[in-house]
Chain A
Amino acid sequence: MQYVSASSSGEAVELLTRAGGKGVIMAGGTDLMVEFKEGKICPECFIDVTKAADMAGISADGERLVIGGAATLTQIARSPLVKRYFPSLAQGCGCVGSLQIRNSATLAGNVVSAQPAGDGAMALAPLDPVFTVCSAGGEAELTMGEMYAGFAKSRVDHSRQLVKRISIPLPQKGEAAAFYRLELRKSLSLPMLNCAAMVHCEGKTVTWARIAMAPVGVGPVRAAAAEAYLKGRELTEAVMARTGELALENANPRSNPLRGSREYRLEALPVIIRRTLEACRAQLS
């Protein structure tokens, strides 16, 4: 087995091409190393992108916030730019695993590992991010919905592609976003449920809403019926409660021996959706 550190995304793609499908991109490696040690993946080469200069850092260009594919969750959670524009994203990234994990793991990796309830990916989901994905064929731009191919399965093939950066449109007047996590413990535990929402209001009326919830299906699941209901209404107690109920139309949670039965999750989901919307409303008022 070889281990090569790439100095740029272009070099990483070249190395992938040379490996002919037998190389694998590694960012933080906090999931990949476990899979490698368990024999679930046996690449001939790991291509480390943590030192790829064009995949580092977090910046804002006046229109969007740009998060490098190699930016760690700690860098994102503590970034003044992220905290200023998207505090819910800083909060979600700060919930993943433990500080040691967040010091290595990346937000791009949290999306590509495609676990249904990754806190970083969930907090990102309603913010309308665009993923710049590089391969030998060039660059492509994928939306959040296009990143997931199935349960724990990403559309990004890490033996041929890499996520170079994540771009998020900067928030506009009247927009608010929030993230909420129902948890057994603060550290080293996956959420029982998590939810993230972004709403836009003109005056008191919601013009659009994006609500993501997990783990209730493949990746962050959009509460489409709830979003449609919310459009054109005010965020009153009754409307937020009804929105939570309608989210169940798109939710299909499984039972988990540690993190709650299907029945429990179906009872709790409307409540955490209501609380997430309450947090959005508090920011708007």
Chain B
Amino acid sequence: MAQLHTTINGEPITAEVDPALSLAEFLREKMYLTGTKIGCGKGECGACTVILDGKAVTSCIIPVLRAEGACVETIEGLERGGRLHPLQEEFVNKGAVQCGFCTPGMIMSSKALLDANPAPSKAEIREALGGNVCRCTGYVNIEQAVEAAADRMRRGEG
């Protein structure tokens, strides 16, 4: 076991961890943050996407100790005072959610994009979401949700 010092959704955390765990396993099984999903377990579907020091990563293939001293953001950290993040609201408004399994990963990839680039082009949105696979909604509504959220965030929301 090893000690991990990290920040998850703004909260400093110290935990005893098994170094063999992935960040996704740690978040789900030790921190009970089950919004982060594990799909393929190989970094190929994007369901486990979280933001690590500002960058979207597939947490199922990130060793947990890489989060040492880092800031981790998960889907649970987006809501503020009972209010959903504009990305979450627009995913609902645009019908960008069906079964919902890929949604947390989609939203975290989108958030990493919008945090760095408030006015992304369609190509940039597609690049950011290229690593997130959805098997039921299709991608058009998801792209529209990101555009709508970006619009609202540029006007000062979120």
B20, B42, B55, B66, most chain A CB atoms within 10 A: B66
State which residues 91-108 of A face B: CB under 8 Å. Answer: 97-101, 103-104
Whether a CB of chain B sits under 8 angstroms from the CB of A30 is: yes
Closest 10 CB pairs of A and B: A98-B131, A187-B130, A3-B19, A33-B61, A103-B55, A3-B65, A100-B58, A100-B131, A1-B20, A34-B42
Partner of A34, one of B43, B55, B133: B43
Whether a CB of chain A sits under 8 angstroms from the CB of B144 is: no
Minimum C-beta distance from B61 to chain A (A):
4
Whether a CB of chain A sits under 8 angstroms from the CB of B57 is: yes
Closest-by-CB residue of B relative to A186 is: B130
Whether a CB of chain A sits under 8 angstroms from the CB of B140 is: no
**How far apart are the CA atoms of A97 and B56 in the complex, in Å?**
13
What are 25 inter-chain pairs, A to B, with CB distance below 8 A? A1-B18, A3-B65, A30-B43, A30-B61, A33-B22, A33-B62, A34-B61, A46-B19, A48-B66, A97-B43, A98-B46, A99-B56, A99-B109, A99-B131, A100-B43, A100-B56, A100-B57, A100-B58, A101-B43, A101-B58, A103-B57, A104-B61, A104-B62, A187-B130, A187-B131
Binary contact track B5-47/A, C-beta < 8 Å → 1, others 0: 0000000000000111010000000000000000001111010
B-binding residues in A (CB < 8 A): 1-3, 5, 26, 29-30, 33-34, 36-37, 46, 48, 50, 74, 97-101, 103-104, 186-188
Q: Do B131 and A48 touch (CB < 8 A)?
A: no
Whether a CB of chain A sits under 8 angstroms from the CB of B63 is: yes
B19, B42, B58, most chain A CB atoms within 10 A: B58
Minimum C-beta distance from B42 to chain A (A):
5
Q: Do B131 and A101 touch (CB < 8 A)?
A: yes
Whether a CB of chain A sits under 8 angstroms from the CB of B2 is: yes
Q: Do B63 and A46 touch (CB < 8 A)?
A: yes
Residues from chain B with Cβ under 8 Å of A104 in the complex: 57-58, 61-62
Residues from chain A with Cβ under 8 Å of B18 in the complex: 1
Partner of A3, one of B41, B44, B63, B127: B63
Binary contact track B58-73/A, C-beta < 8 Å → 1, others 0: 1001110110100000
Q: Do B131 and A188 touch (CB < 8 A)?
A: yes
Minimum C-beta distance from A22 to chain B (A):
14
Minimum C-beta distance from B36 to chain A (A):
13
Q: Do A99 and B65 touch (CB < 8 A)?
A: no
